[in-house]
Amino acid sequence: MTKTLLTEAISSEENPFYELIISDILEQGFSICDTFFEESLVDLLRIDLKALYNQSDLKKAAIGNKLNESIEKNIRGDYIQWIDELKANSVEKCFFKQIHHFKDYLNRTCFMGLLHQEFHYAMYPKGTFYQKHIDTFQNDDRRKLSMVCYLNDNSWKTTNGGELVLYPKGKERITIYPLPGRVVIFESQVLEHEVKEVLKEERLSITGWLKTR
């Protein structure tokens, strides 16, 4: 009988794509990648979000967490729908499969202790924005990494506004256009960021957090 050695059972395969993301995060606190998800998955997620929007299933996003939430239009103007992973449709399952793959890799290679994830669809109508903020709450610091995936289509123009602006401490601000399929990952507890006013069209995305404990 052949025995599997403990060291063999632990998968140690390196993923060069994830390694690039990790080194970006370690060096600058954020990473921008345009090929995280297949284009076809982004197209299907966009269809899902538009369907929720047409059924009026999106809700005005609140500030704070469940203990102290309030709706303040002058802070954020997006409409959201949390995705219940247990009730995920086949497209959302495919999305979460990749999230788990990435999360497991981070835990295995960086010992990040990420246990949970939470994601919501988001739609910013024309005229809305999200003021400069960080993604952790005063009474809850479990969010470690923020992930945003833009679901705008190929007709999205940089003149539509809605840029994500990152403010790394002591460095120049970074302006990121919400282009189709683009994924931005950053440290939830430290990196201040802002969504600039949407000037034209509706800005579509999925935003979520990888969390500890």
Ligand X SMILES: O=C(O)CCC(=O)C(=O)O
- Binding residues for Fe ion, per CB under 5 A? 135
| Strand partners of residue 166 | 174, 193
- Residues in contact with 18: Cβ distance below 8 Å, sequence separation at least 6, in sequence order: 102, 105, 106, 109
Taking CB under 6 A as the rule, does residue 148 contact ligand X? Answer: yes
Query: In the set 48, 92, 135, 202, which binds ligand X (CB under 6 A)?
Result: 135
Smallest gap from Cβ 164 to ligand X, in A, equals 4
148 interacts with, out of Fe ion, ligand X, none, CB within 5 to 8 A per kind: ligand X
Taking CB under 6 A as the rule, does residue 128 contact ligand X? Answer: no
Give CA separation, 47 vs 82, 122, 140, 186, in Å.
16, 13, 33, 26
Residues touching ligand X: how many (CB under 6 A)? Answer: 8
Query: In the set 58, 195, 198, 210, which binds ligand X (CB under 6 A)?
Result: 195
Q: Which is nearer to ligand X, 58 or 148 (CB)?
A: 148
Smallest gap from Cβ 72 to Fe ion, in A, equals 15
Q: Which is nearer to Fe ion, 45 or 122 (CB)?
A: 122
Chain positions 164 to 183 lying near ligand X, rule: CB under 6 A, are 164
Smallest gap from Cβ 150 to ligand X, in A, equals 7
75 to 114: interface string for ligand X, x by CB under 6 A = ----------------------------------------
Smallest gap from Cβ 108 to ligand X, in A, equals 27
Query: In the set 37, 119, 129, 130, which binds ligand X (CB under 6 A)?
Result: 130
Query: In the set 103, 207, 210, 211, which binds ligand X (CB under 6 A)?
Result: 207
Taking CB under 6 A as the rule, does residue 58 contact ligand X? Answer: no
| Strand partners of residue 122 | 80, 205
Sheet-wide strand order for 192-195: 130-133, 192-195, 164-167, 174-176
Question: What are the φ/ψ torsions at residue 164 (nearest 5 degrees)?
Answer: -90, 125
Give the footprint of ligand X on this chain (CB under 6 A).
130, 135, 148, 164, 193, 195, 205, 207
